[in-house]
Every structure is written in structure tokens, then in C-alpha cells.
């Protein structure tokens, strides 16, 4: 079995901390600083559904997220899995979306390159109303 690269986990954990900081506070710059220039992400629904390419597009998305979840989203991390280059975080989140109660179950899968995140994929495990 291939040995795990400790750096992969370290970088991903640092990025996830900044990701949840962005969700909670709207301060996304520390997370954006950890993205490669050719960063891409997949999102499950809405106006950012599908593949999104580039850091600029990512910044637009995070701005949109912080408008939708104006008071911030709180995250409860349940589980972390990894391989040599990818780390998956399973968590539940909770907050207000456009002022209405919001809850979901989420998996985000971060691909690590060097000390940065080069891609992630987001998956929803519930309906935005329960978690």
C-alpha cells in the first residue's frame, strides 16, 4: 500500500481551517491565498453548478456564499479520509440562507499540489433543511 504523504494531510487541514473560517466569517482571502492559479472546483447546484475554473471565479463564488449566508455558516467536522494527493472532509453545516434556517451534510474533496489546493469537489448529503 502506498505510504501517505504527511504533507498532503497537513496542507489540506490548513486549507480546511481557512475554508471553514471563510464560511463562518466571510473572510475568504486566507483560503484564496492557498489556491493554485489553475484552481478549479465543482459545485452541485445553483448558479455555480458544475465545473468552475480559476481563482477569480472562486472569489466570485465565495462572495456569493457570504451574501447568501450573511451571518456565517458553522461547521461540525465528522470524518477525514485521504490518499497521497486528496483529502475528503465530511461535515455538517448550519446557519441562515437568505435569512431562512439552513442545515446540510457535506463532503468536500480537496486535491493538494505542493503547499496549495489545486482543485476541490463539493457534494451534498442532505436537502439544506436537515443534517
Residues interacting with its own copies, by CB under 8 A? 1, 4, 6, 9, 42, 44-45, 49-50, 79-83, 86-88, 90, 105-107, 109, 121-127, 130
CA-to-CA distance for 59 and 49, rounded, in angstroms?
Answer: 15
How is residue 6 annotated by DSSP? H
- Least gap, CB of 66 to its own copies (angstroms): 22
Phi, psi of 74 (to 5 degrees): -100, 145
Q: Which is nearer to its own copies, 61 or 123 (CB)?
A: 123
Instruction: Give 114's DSSP letter.
Output: T
**Closest distance between its own copies and the C-beta of residue 61, in Å?**
15
Nearer to its own copies, 30 or 128 (CB): 128
**How far is Cα 26 from Cα 57, in angstroms, rounded to an integer?**
16
Other beta carbons within 10 angstroms of residue 126's beta carbon come to 13
- H/E segment holding residue 119: strand 116-124
Min separation Cβ 99 and its own copies, Å: 23
* CB nearer its own copies, residue 27 or residue 122: 122
Nearest approach, Cβ of residue 81 and its own copies (Å): 4
Nearer CB in complex with its own copies: 96/107: 107
For cell 472546483, name the residue.
41
Amino acid at each position: 500500500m502506498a505510504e501517505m504523504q504527511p504533507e498532503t494531510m497537513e496542507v489540506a487541514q490548513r486549507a480546511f481551517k481557512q475554508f471553514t473560517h471563510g464560511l463562518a466569517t466571510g473572510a475568504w482571502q486566507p483560503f484564496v491565498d492557498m489556491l493554485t492559479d489553475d484552481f478549479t472546483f465543482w459545485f452541485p447546484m445553483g448558479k455555480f453548478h458544475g465545473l468552475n475554473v480559476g481563482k477569480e471565479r472562486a472569489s466570485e463564488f465565495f462572495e456569493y456564499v457570504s451574501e447568501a449566508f450573511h451571518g456565517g455558516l458553522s461547521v461540525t467536522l465528522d470524518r477525514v479520509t485521504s490518499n497521497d494527493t486528496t483529502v475528503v472532509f465530511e461535515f455538517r453545516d448550519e446557519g441562515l440562507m437568505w435569512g431562512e434556517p439552513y442545515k446540510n451534510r457535506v463532503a468536500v474533496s480537496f486535491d493538494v499540489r505542493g503547499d496549495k489546493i489545486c482543485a476541490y469537489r463539493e457534494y451534498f448529503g442532505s436537502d439544506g433543511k436537515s443534517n
